[in-house]
Amino acid sequence: MGKLKFGLIGCGRIAQRHAEHISNVGELKAVCDIDLRKAQLLGEKYKANIYSDIDELLEHEKDIDVISICTPNGLHAEHTIKSLKAGFHVLCEKPMAISVLDAGKMIDAAEKANKRLFIVKQNRFNPPVAAVKNLIDNNKLGRIYSVHLSCFWNRNFEYYTNSDWKGTKELDGGTLFTQFSHFIDLLFYLIGDVQEVYSFNENFTHKDIIEFEDTGVAILKFYNGALGTVNYTVNSYKKNMEGSITIFGEKGTVKIGGQYLNELEYQNIEGVKIEGLPEGNPPNNYGQYVGSMSNHSEVYKNVVNVLENGGIIATNGFEGLKTVEIIDKIYRSAAKLNGKS
């Protein structure tokens, strides 16, 4: 098989990284953005065909294997379903969707088209995350008693006012979707599915800036009996402080921390010591703010491995749906409890 050919929908910030990694593993054949200038800038750099309308790209570019979706959250479902129906495999940025219904429709569309659906969850490849997943899969922590997630980041007013979709209910969906869906994904990935949630949230400092909360707390009960807490905010004073997950198991305690789940901060495990973890990649740096670890290279390696060597999808549509469901449960509980005095 020759090099895989890719199309890219949405040519904003994260698309630059996608284009770079696509060019390392395959060929970027076509790009599309409703802002033609952005499509031109990226298309010219990679010698790709340029479109401002997804329907035209899907109609004319029959040679493509995979469409990468890098548009705002609220458009992922529409763009993914169109691409699958047109006969392409899809790699969709996180969050998979901002409604459970939409995520279900995306899985259905992939099944009906008999095409593969990949969701970008690059933090799963962070060296400490991979090491802890390996421990849990091999029962080295024993029964998991509880898990505690801390997401303490800073997103200033300019972060939202410089974007026409971030902070909107319709296209962003909520702080858990844009900022912290990677972290929620790790709760599912490492611990399991969530049965019940109680949650409060509040918009403390972004009242006229965003249409949803900037801070929230949640308590969780998992189907396997584990208990959990989620503490998240974009009000960490002036800068990102921490993104961490602490797990208390029968045979060990571990904390993955740093700002982006990129350091193994604490370990005390029966008969095991995690050592010699590779450095990992630096986080995505967008100038005025810093995002998650930049492991998109691993995401693209996985796409190639699945489509060319029969490998297993690193994060499939079903797993993407689970993140959306857990976030949906947190928001539903907060909507119910917020009004109660």
Ligand X SMILES: NC(=O)c1ccc[n+]([C@@H]2O[C@H](COP(=O)([O-])OP(=O)(O)OC[C@H]3O[C@@H](n4cnc5c(N)ncnc54)[C@H](O)[C@@H]3O)[C@@H](O)[C@H]2O)c1
**From CA 6, how far away is CA 217, in angstroms rounded?**
40
* 253 binds ligand X, rule: CB under 6 A: no
Q: Tell me which residue of 158, 170, 171, 153 sits closest to 209, measured CA to CA.
A: 158
Size of the site for ligand X (CB under 6 A): 27
Indicate the residue whose CB is closest to ligand X: 12
Binding mask 258-287 toward ligand X (x if CB under 6 A, else -) reads: --------------------------x---
Q: Which string of DSSP letters, residue by residue, matches 36-91?
A: HHHHHHHHHHHT-EEES-HHHHHHH-TT-SEEEE-S-GGGHHHHHHHHHHTT-EEE
User: Strand (E) positions, 105-211?
Assistant: 117-119, 144-152, 194-202
In sequence order, what are the residues at sequence separation of 6 or more whose Cβ sits closer than 8 angstroms to the Cβ of residue 135? 141, 252, 254, 269, 272, 274
* 9 binds ligand X, rule: CB under 6 A: yes
Q: Which is nearer to ligand X, 134 or 285 (CB)?
A: 285
Q: Which is nearer to ligand X, 38 or 124 (CB)?
A: 38
Eight-class DSSP state of 174:
-
Compute the residue count for the chain.
341
* 72 binds ligand X, rule: CB under 6 A: yes
The H-or-E segment that residue 101 falls in is helix 100-113
In sequence order, what are the residues at sequence separation of 6 or more whose Cβ sits closer than 8 angstroms to the Cβ of residue 58? 7, 67, 82, 83, 86, 88
- State the minimum distance, in angstroms, from the CB of residue 18 to ligand X: 9
Residue 160, number of CB atoms within 10 A of its CB: 19
Q: Pick one of 20, 23, 25, 34: the residue that binds ligand X (CB under 6 A).
A: 34
Q: Which is nearer to ligand X, 29 or 94 (CB)?
A: 94
**From CA 246, how far away is CA 260, in angstroms rounded?**
13
* 240 binds ligand X, rule: CB under 6 A: no
Eight-class DSSP state of 285:
E
Q: Pick one of 23, 163, 229, 231: the residue that binds ligand X (CB under 6 A).
A: 163
Q: Pick one of 14, 48, 113, 151: the residue that binds ligand X (CB under 6 A).
A: 14
**92 bridge partner residues:** 69, 119
Q: Pick one of 68, 73, 281, 333: the residue that binds ligand X (CB under 6 A).
A: 73
Q: Which is nearer to ligand X, 56 or 111 (CB)?
A: 56
Residues 78-107 that bind ligand X (CB under 6 A): 93-94
Residues 112-151 that bind ligand X (CB under 6 A): 120, 122
Residues 194-223 that bind ligand X (CB under 6 A): none
Q: Which is nearer to ligand X, 7 or 249 (CB)?
A: 7
* 323 binds ligand X, rule: CB under 6 A: no
Binding site for ligand X (CB under 6 A): 9-15, 32-35, 38, 54, 70-73, 75, 93-94, 120, 122, 163, 178, 284, 291-292
